[in-house]
């Protein structure tokens, strides 16, 4: 707990940073954003922005001097940068958590060691490693680090599809391809005193490995509902997590619940909480990392969220919306194919 309102530092200036800064503002908390993107959309929402490469020490020091607590909107920040900051200021969630979660091999070991089911996987270094484990095919080869929105992934049906050169550039895991019935996610906020607020499971539809739609309620049975929330709680507790995080799950055609991955931050599938709950995932994240307590939260209504990618944003900009529809334009200057440009949430009363 801080004696007066802390100043919140946020690393990253994309849409997640924008929503976090807006939540902080509602609470009277000032924000300073550190980003390497001169066009960062979050600059319209924060109190101050520092534009710099994350490894530039002088700028990092300036950032640290201006804030009381630091968080981040994406997990792929070098561990050295977060641990440098944490020497002077609180970083939440803690850099140690990030170290586990930003490496798919470490993340999966951590989940497995908790006795939680995750996708079968092996760490691979060469085509030969895969040849020796043909029972893992068809599988998905994923870079251990820096992957998002399906980047750095290759579907491998047979050995001919493997390019030996891939292994000189990156470390990989090979995951067995799951016969998916559904995908869901659970967003959880854990507070300083260990209290948790767990949002109801959200059902997600991906297209070309990018989230396309999310909705509540998820079309799942009571068992999976409870199990997915319990698993998220177990993971958050084990990590001693403070803030909002997301657990992504697969449900296979036999109705097994399998952890896909953990995002140690607010998550795209939780955008519908901005309108469907009194307290959104962003509000709760800011509350938790600033030492505020877990308040009773109320669901306002069922909802569906649609991600708007690339030039599709132009079709949404000048439309008229009903009062149960909430359009968010992320104010990104350059439109790129498959780039997340905005989203639309429809409340279903
Ligand atoms: P990212 O970090 O890019 O989100 P994910 O591992 O979550 O990577 O993969 C993105 C999407 O690709 C998943 O949500 C799912 O739709 C599909 N996918 C990934 N791994 C598997 C798998 N082992 N079996 C089936 N589908 C998968
Ligand atoms: Mg994912």
> How many beta carbons lie within 10 A of that of residue 250, not counting itself?
20
Check whether 332 has a pLDDT greater than 70: yes
Residue 166: what are its φ and ψ, rounded to 5°?
Answer: -55, -40
Q: How confident is the model at residue 58 (pLDDT cuts 50, 70, 90)?
A: very high
Check whether 215 has a pLDDT greater than 90: yes
Q: How confident is the model at residue 76 (pLDDT cuts 50, 70, 90)?
A: confident
127-153: string of b/e by CB count within 10 Å (b at 16+)? Answer: eeebeeeeebbebbbbbbeebebeebe
Angstrom distance (rounded) from CA 246 to CA 242: 12
User: Is the sign of the CA dihedral 279, 284, 285, 287 positive or negative?
Assistant: positive
The pLDDT assigned to 156 comes to 96
Q: Which amino acids bring their CB within 6 angstroms of ligand 1?
A: 119, 140, 147-150, 175, 177-178, 180, 183, 206, 209, 248, 260-261
Check whether 317 has a pLDDT greater than 70: yes
Residue 279: what are its φ and ψ, rounded to 5°?
Answer: -120, 115
Angstrom distance (rounded) from CA 268 to CA 28: 25
204 Cα nearest atom in ligand 1: 14
Angstrom distance (rounded) from CA 216 to CA 149: 22
The pLDDT assigned to 147 comes to 83
Check whether 308 has a pLDDT greater than 90: yes
Q: How confident is the model at residue 284 (pLDDT cuts 50, 70, 90)?
A: very high
Q: Which ligand is nearest to the CA of 174?
A: 1
Structure tokens that stand for 96 in this block: 């140690």
Mean residue pLDDT across the chain = 96
Among 195, 217, 126, 139, CA closest to 166: 126
Check whether 1 has a pLDDT greater than 70: no
Q: How far is the CA of 210 from the centre of ligand 2 (A)?
A: 8
Q: How far is the CA of 186 from the centre of ligand 2 (A)?
A: 12
Residues measured by CB to lie within 5 Å of ligand 2, the ion? 248
The pLDDT assigned to 295 comes to 98
Residues 6+ apart with CB under 8 A from 67: 6, 7, 8, 9, 32, 89
The pLDDT assigned to 152 comes to 83
The pLDDT assigned to 149 comes to 82
- In terms of DSSP H, where are the helices of the chain? 15-26, 57-66, 79-86, 95-101, 104-113, 127-131, 166-169, 222-238, 273-276, 281-289, 313-317
Residue 15 φ/ψ region, left for φ over 0, alpha for ψ in the -120 to 50 degree band, beta for the rest: alpha
The whole-angstrom distance between residue 263's C-alpha and the CA centroid of its chain comes to 4
Instruction: Beginning with the edge strand found earlier in the chain, give each strand of the sheet holding 90-91 in spatial order.
Output: 48-51, 30-35, 7-11, 69-72, 90-91
Check whether 2 has a pLDDT greater than 80: no
Check whether 142 has a pLDDT greater than 90: yes
Beta bridge partners of 34: 11, 50
Cα 244–245–246 angle (5° rounding)?
135
Residue bearing the CA closest to ligand 1, atom 23: 177
The pLDDT assigned to 232 comes to 98
% the chain with pLDDT above 90: 94
Map tokens 């008229």 to a residue: 320
Count of alpha carbons within 13 angstroms of residue 344, beta-carbon side: 17
119 Cα nearest atom in ligand 1: 23
User: Does the pTM of the predicted model rise above 0.95?
Assistant: yes
Q: Which ligand is nearest to the CA of 120?
A: 1
For residues 30-45, average pLDDT? 97
Angstrom distance (rounded) from CA 57 to CA 67: 16
> How many beta carbons lie within 10 A of that of residue 207, not counting itself?
12
Among 217, 209, 228, CA closest to 307: 209
């Amino acid at each position: 707990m801080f004696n007066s309102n802390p100043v919140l530092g946020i690393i990253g200036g994309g849409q997640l940073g924008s929503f976090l800064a807006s939540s902080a503002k509602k609470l009277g908390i000032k924000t300073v954003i550190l980003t390497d993107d001169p066009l960062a959309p979050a600059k319209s929402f924060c109190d101050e922005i520092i534009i710099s490469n994350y490894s530039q020490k002088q700028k990092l020091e300036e950032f640290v001097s201006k804030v009381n607590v630091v968080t981040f909107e994406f997990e792929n920040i070098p561990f050295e940068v977060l641990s440098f900051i944490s020497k002077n200021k609180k970083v939440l969630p803690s850099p140690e958590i990030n170290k586990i979660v930003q490496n798919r091999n470490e993340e999966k070991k951590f989940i497995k060691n908790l006795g939680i089911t995750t996708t079968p996987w092996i760490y691979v270094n060469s085509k030969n490693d895969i040849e020796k484990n043909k029972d893992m095919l068809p599988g998905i080869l994923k870079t251990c680090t820096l992957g998002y929105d399906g980047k750095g992934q290759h579907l491998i049906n047979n050995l001919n599809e493997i390019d030996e050169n891939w292994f000189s550039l990156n470390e990989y895991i090979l995951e067995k391809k799951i016969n998916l019935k559904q995908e869901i996610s659970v967003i959880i906020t854990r507070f300083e005193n260990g209290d948790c607020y767990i949002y109801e499971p959200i059902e997600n539809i991906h297209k070309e490995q990018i989230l396309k739609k999310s909705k509540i309620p998820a079309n799942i049975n009571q068992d999976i509902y409870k199990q997915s929330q319990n698993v998220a709680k177990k993971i958050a507790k084990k990590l001693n997590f403070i803030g909002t995080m997301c657990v992504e799950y697969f449900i296979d055609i036999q109705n097994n619940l399998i952890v896909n991955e953990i995002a140690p931050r607010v998550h795209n599938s939780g955008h519908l909480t901005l309108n469907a709950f009194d307290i959104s995932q962003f509000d709760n994240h800011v509350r938790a990392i600033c030492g505020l307590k877990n308040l009773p939260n109320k669901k306002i209504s069922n909802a569906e969220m649609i991600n708007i990618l690339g030039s599709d944003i132009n079709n949404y900009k000048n439309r008229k919306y009903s009062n149960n529809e909430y359009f968010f334009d992320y104010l990104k200057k350059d439109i790129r194919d498959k780039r997340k440009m905005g989203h639309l949430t429809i409340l279903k009363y």
